[in-house]
Amino acid sequence: MTDERSASDDGSPPRGDATTGATRSATLRTTLADADIVAAAVRPDNTPEIETRVEREADGPGTVVTTVERSTTGGLRTTVDDYAVNLAVARDVAQHANRHADTQTDTTHDQ
């Protein structure tokens, strides 16, 4: 986590606490086989202060990268905790769905 107190690159004042201009931020990186699916599952819960994207190296698994900004350390901690739970659930659901799809056989018969 970082505590940013400087102006942004475009010269505008930093977002965050109205009295100090402080913004707390955290970036979480999670490499997953189903990165696109997991990112799509957690994105609907994003607020304007949360950005989720997928980064990918050539032919490698994707990495879900989420940056969270909050004006207070407690708010950042709570948001990161909530996000981590959502991410774990999305990952587990994607893994179970893939396992289920892999075990399905064609049950149609010629009649």
Question: What are the domain boundaries of the chain?
Answer: 2-103
Q: Work out the average pLDDT over 45-73.
A: 93
- 56: number of CA atoms within 13 Å, CB side? 12
Mean pLDDT on 43-72: 93
Q: How confident is the model at residue 47 (pLDDT cuts 50, 70, 90)?
A: very high
pLDDT digits (tens, 9 = 90+) for 62-101: 999 999 999 999 999 999 999 999 999 999 999 898 887 7
pLDDT in tens, 10-46: 444 445 445 555 699 999 999 998 999 999 999 999 9
* Topology, domain 2-103: Alpha-Beta Plaits (3.30.70)
